[in-house]
């Protein structure tokens, strides 16, 4: 990948693979892409760089009970957030090369591999946003349906999606969690859940900076970062939350960015304040947002 090109939490594919993937995801009539449409020969799909936390610290799953690990063949692939006992929000780019026979979701464990800790559910349905664009990461959102539904307890709980009327402003603190890499060039991922506090960044400034690469940011994305702190490989699909009092709200989904904790290039997150993202979640889950 060219150094002038942003390094999303999943590496952007070359032009031809991108078109092939987009054809799979953007189904006629605006219908939702299901697992059958997300599978394809590996030669047509990008090699993903899944994000991870940089500059954070160890966290306890009891503090972030909505956080899940999406496992592929027993290995952590992406993060996600529990929004109901049977539905998980994650990133659309995590759905590439999906194989449901070797995929499962782990909840309620601080440590991965879990070795018997937490709860495991199978993925029975996958819905990627039909407008997801693997070149720009526009509409980078997907919903997973799992079975059996998760049992809510002190380590497993759902998180409400934020009301746009109560959203944070530029400079406000927000939090990212995940089991991604601890630095961009690390060869290993975290085994203990990590958390990091970052700040909301001015979107127009962020958009202009990414435009120099060039990368076009749309209204389905927002920016957040702090010096030496960011999501990174392995964190894709995981939550960015906003705390109001003693309550946590799901504000965004870890999506992409130029490298990890690269100065002047904040991390990019799918914006759950965006009406199209909210309508998609409502259509899939029946939730009223």
Active site residues: 93, 140, 236
Distance separating alpha carbons of residues 6 and 13, to the nearest angstrom: 11
Measure Cα distances from 125 to 57, 108, 146, 254, 255 in Å: 33, 21, 7, 21, 21
Cα–Cα–Cα angle for 14, 264, 222, nearest 5°?
70
The SS3 call for residue 283 is: helix
Distance separating alpha carbons of residues 120 and 257, to the nearest angstrom: 30
Distance separating alpha carbons of residues 210 and 196, to the nearest angstrom: 23
- The answer to whether 138 touches 220, Cβ cutoff 8 Å, is yes
Distance separating alpha carbons of residues 143 and 35, to the nearest angstrom: 11
Where on the phi/psi map is residue 22: left (φ > 0), alpha (ψ -120 to 50), or beta? alpha
- The answer to whether 262 touches 210, Cβ cutoff 8 Å, is no
């Amino acid at each position: 990948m060219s150094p002038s090109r942003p390094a999303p939490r999943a590496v952007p594919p070359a032009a031809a693979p991108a078109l092939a993937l987009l054809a799979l995801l953007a189904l006629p009539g605006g219908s939702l892409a299901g697992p059958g449409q997300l599978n394809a020969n590996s030669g047509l799909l990008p090699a993903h760089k899944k994000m991870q936390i940089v500059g954070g610290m160890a966290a306890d799953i009891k503090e972030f009970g909505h956080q899940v690990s999406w496992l592929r063949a027993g290995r952590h692939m992406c993060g996600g957030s529990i929004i109901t006992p049977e539905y998980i929000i994650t990133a659309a780019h995590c759905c590439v090369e999906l194989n449901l026979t070797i995929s499962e979701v782990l909840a309620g464990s601080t440590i991965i591999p879990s070795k018997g800790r937490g709860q495991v559910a199978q993925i029975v349905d996958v819905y990627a946003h039909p407008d997801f664009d693997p070149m720009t990461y526009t509409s980078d959102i997907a919903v997973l349906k799992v079975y059996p539904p998760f049992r809510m307890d002190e380590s497993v709980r759902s998180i409400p999606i934020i009301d746009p009327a109560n959203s944070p402003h530029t400079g406000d603190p927000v939090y990212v969690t995940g089991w991604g890499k601890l630095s961009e060039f690390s060869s290993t991922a975290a085994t203990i859940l990590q958390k990091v506090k970052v700040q909301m960044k001015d979107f127009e400034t962020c958009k202009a900076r990414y435009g120099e690469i060039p990368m076009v940011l749309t209204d389905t994305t927002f920016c957040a970062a702090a010096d030496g702190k960011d999501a990174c490989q392995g964190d894709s699909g995981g939550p960015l939350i906003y705390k109001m009092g003693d309550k946590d709200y799901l504000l965004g989904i870890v999506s992409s960015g130029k490298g990890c904790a690269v100065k002047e290039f904040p991390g990019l997150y799918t914006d759950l304040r965006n009406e199209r993202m909210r309508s998609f979640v409502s259509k899939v889950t029946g939730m009223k947002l």
